[in-house]
Amino acid sequence: MTQHHSTPEAADDSSAASAVPSGVPSRSSADGGGPVHGLGPEWRRGDDGLLFREAARVILLDEDDRVLLIRGHDVDQPDRSWWFTVGGGIDDGEDAMSAAVREVREETGIALTAADLVGPVFTRSAIFDFFAEHCRQDEILYLARVPAAAFGAVDRGGWTELEHDVIDELRWWSLDDLDRVDIEVFPDRLVDLVRGLLPAWDGETRHLGLARE
């Protein structure tokens, strides 16, 4: 998991590039290692001084084109929250698809296989502040279709200690409702991005670039 802040987008209610800029060190060249201030071992201190990790995320759509999102907050800014896609860091020795499948299972209880993933449909990078640290995350985003019934009551059994602290809720959003939400949504322009994947992905991985959030 772990997300961040940016410019507010727009939602409502319904049912509670390589984008890596040149010259920035990759995961394999980042020095340091080990857990940093509770963020987890996948976060490494890069040569640029930022904590860095690679992440895999999944845009989960149901049969009605609703998207399953997580709302979370920063423990240092508990009055601020935002919606974001399911997913999280890629562990050492793990490929992006395996990480995506694992993160979906841990965060939502939905069991996917690599064959259920479409894409990657997007890649992006983001620089943001979280947990009193300056962070950079490179993300690979997949698409997957699941029946709405696949996600019922929230199961926190697979959550990390940090996720227990910062995740507030999970819910399905219709795209029209999400377009009217009054808190931040990540990635930026998510509604437009999802609409561009309908009725089916065209097979092109789009690089969304670097966002400073």
Q: Kindly give the parts of the chain with pLDDT less than 70.
A: 1-40, 73, 75, 130-133, 153-167
Instruction: Give the pLDDT confidence score for residue 147 in this predicted structure.
Output: 96
pLDDT in the model for residue 4: 45
Q: What is the pTM of this model?
A: 0.76
The correct answer on CATH 3.10.129.10 for the domain covering 27-212 is no
Report the alpha-carbon distance of residue 95 to residue 136 in Å, rounded.
19
Going through 43-98 in order, the beta strands assigned E by DSSP cover 44-45, 51-61, 67-74, 77-89
pLDDT at 23: 33
